[in-house]
């Protein structure tokens, strides 16, 4: 960069060498973009050609990608998807966050009076992280109604929701606990120096920082929760997966499964992109802090 006199004022302008460097960088970026575009198009065209030219493609297309069967099955799948799967996800996400936060805070507590609760929290996380979610759905959806308890609902939706909350609550509790433990002890010492109690330090200093650090992995868990709402269909709840299976068993065509997969993909992709964005922003923040 060299200074040039303009109207009596110093004005900095790029030197000829800097302008040349900028031209080279722009040329390299355009070249990289062109190469990446061509490579991507060639790759996907090749995959498509190999797929549609395979001997079994007509059978696969008629079985999994039938337009007629997709249109016929879509109304019932759409209704079941929004009535059960989306509702399960929304309710489950809220309840899981509450349960996981309570479990994480109990495990972080050092009060002797809460020792029994800490033991319960440890047993809960170890137990429900070890049980497959679909097995937990079966155990609650079929086992609880079989007990014939008075005043307890036999709703498959309710017990499917409970199974998802108990299963994912254990995972999310550990994620939140790891975030809380990642906060440096000096933060608590600073809170003590300001006269805050242990509870106030956790509420206003430690927990907000810990939760902010684990937002990306939390969102990844909720992406998995979206997909696992389909597990309740295995217990007999007429969700999207059950509706697809019902149509497939009656018409001997698996296109409804493709429709259900499309619904879950459309629901999952925005949250996945949000997760990527937050992870990238967190990395940029750490790099700036490192500098």
Distance CA 160, CA 241 (A): 14
Average pLDDT over residues 234-246: 88
Task: Report the number of distinct structural domains present in the chain.
Answer: 2
d(C-alpha 278, C-alpha 82), whole Å: 27
Res. 286 pLDDT band, cuts 50 70 90 = low
Residue 291, pLDDT score? 47
Q: CB atoms < 10 A from the CB of 152, how many?
A: 12
> Is residue 52 situated within a structural domain?
no
What is the per-residue pLDDT for 162? 95
Residue 236 lies in a domain: yes
CATH of the domain at 95: 1.10.3720.10
Same domain for 30 and 88? Answer: no
pLDDT at 3 over 70: no
Confidence band, pLDDT 50/70/90 cuts, at residue 277: confident
Read off the pLDDT of each residue in 231-246 and give the average, rounded to a whole number: 88
> What is the CB neighbour count within 10 angstroms for residue 65?
13
Domain-embedded: residue 135: yes
User: 21 with 151, same domain?
Assistant: no
pLDDT at 248 over 70: yes
Q: Are residues 85 and 160 in the same domain?
A: yes
Q: Do 84 and 17 share a structural domain?
A: no
- Within-domain flag for 209: yes
Say if residue 31's pLDDT is above 70.
yes
| Local confidence band at 8 (pLDDT 50, 70, 90 cut-offs) | very low
Instruction: Tell me: do 90 and 230 sit in the same domain.
Output: yes
- Mean confidence (pLDDT) of the chain: 86
pLDDT of residue 135: 93
- Residue 209's domain comprises 80-290
Q: Where are the alpha helices (DSSP H) in 131-239?
A: 133-147, 156-181, 185-193, 198-201, 207-213, 215-228
How much is the average pLDDT of 274-282? 77
For residue 92, name the pLDDT band (cuts at 50, 70, 90): very high
Q: How far apart are CA 104 and CA 210, in angstroms?
A: 11
Find the mean pLDDT for residues 2-11.
Answer: 52
Is 28 a domain residue?
yes
Residues 143 and 33 reside in one and the same domain? no
Q: Could you tell me the pTM of the whole model?
A: 0.80
CA distance 35 to 29: 10
Pick the residue with more confidence: 282 or 6?
A: 282
Q: Among 117-131, 174-188, 253-267, name the one with the lowest average pLDDT.
A: 174-188
pLDDT tens digits, one per residue of 131-187: 999 999 999 999 888 888 888 888 999 999 999 999 999 999 999 998 888 888 888
Same domain, 195 and 284: yes
């Amino acid at each position: 960069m060299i200074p040039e006199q303009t109207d009596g004022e110093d004005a900095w302008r790029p030197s000829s060498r800097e302008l040349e460097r900028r031209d080279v960088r722009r040329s390299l970026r355009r070249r990289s973009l062109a190469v990446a575009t061509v490579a991507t198009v060639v790759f996907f065209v090749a995959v498509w050609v190999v797929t549609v030219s395979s001997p079994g493609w007509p059978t696969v297309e008629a079985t999994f990608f039938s337009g007629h069967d997709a249109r016929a099955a879509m109304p019932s799948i759409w209704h079941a998807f929004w009535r059960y799967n989306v509702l399960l996800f929304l309710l489950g996400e809220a309840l899981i966050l509450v349960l996981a936060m309570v479990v994480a805070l109990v495990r972080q507590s050092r009060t002797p009076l809460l020792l029994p609760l800490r033991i319960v929290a440890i047993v809960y996380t170890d137990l429900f992280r070890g049980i497959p979610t679909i097995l937990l759905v079966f155990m609650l959806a079929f086992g609880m109604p079989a007990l014939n308890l008075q005043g307890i609902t036999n709703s498959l939706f309710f017990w499917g929701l409970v199974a998802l909350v108990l299963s994912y609550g254990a995972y999310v509790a550990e994620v939140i606990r790891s975030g809380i433990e990642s906060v440096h002890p000096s933060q608590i010492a600073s809170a003590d120096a300001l006269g805050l109690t242990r509870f106030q330090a956790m509420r206003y200093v430690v927990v907000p920082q810990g939760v902010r650090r684990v937002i990306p992995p939390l969102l990844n868990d909720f992406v998995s929760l979206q997909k696992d709402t389909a597990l309740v269909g295995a217990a007999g709840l007429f969700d999207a997966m059950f509706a697809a299976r019902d149509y497939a068993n009656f018409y001997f065509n698996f296109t409804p499964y493709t429709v259900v997969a499309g619904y879950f993909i459309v629901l999952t992709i925005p949250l996945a992109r949000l997760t990527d964005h937050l992870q990238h922003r967190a990395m940029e923040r750490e790099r700036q802090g490192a500098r």
